[in-house]
């Protein structure tokens, strides 16, 4: 899928909007969340635009798996063995930017259930 000009995350991937990039692969880009909720809070996004996790899993399952591999690499690089991965899919679940993104959160006590 092509990048969308009005998508914030597409613009970060393209380098048109600054972001603190911490990890890249051929298919993914990871950058620090500007409103981090833990010492480690990074968003891992596909380079191609997909609106949500379900759309990505259907349209490009290999990139869907690559998001998880990239998330692990980000956590490990910051020294975390324990971390949480979160996809918010849809406005009702808290998704604010409609470009698939996987939250990698670590470095504080994470209670259950979340939210």
**Is 101 an active-site residue?**
yes
Q: Do 75 and 84 contact (CB within 8 A), yes or no?
A: no
CA distance 100 to 53: 5
Other beta carbons within 10 Å of 65: 12
Which one of 41, 49, 99, 101 is the catalytic residue?
A: 101
**What residues act catalytically?**
101
């Amino acid at each position: 899928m092509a990048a969308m000009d009005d998508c914030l995350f597409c613009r970060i991937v393209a380098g048109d909007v600054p972001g603190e990039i911490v990890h890249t692969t051929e298919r993914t880009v990871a950058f620090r969340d500007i409103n981090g909720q833990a010492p480690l809070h990074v968003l891992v996004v596909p380079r191609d635009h997909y609106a949500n996790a379900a759309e990505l899993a259907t349209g490009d399952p290999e990139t869907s798996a690559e998001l998880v591999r990239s998330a692990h690499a980000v956590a490990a690089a910051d020294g975390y063995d324990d971390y949480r991965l979160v996809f918010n899919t849809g406005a009702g679940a808290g998704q604010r930017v409609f470009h698939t993104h996987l939250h990698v959160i670590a470095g504080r006590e994470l209670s259950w259930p979340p939210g």
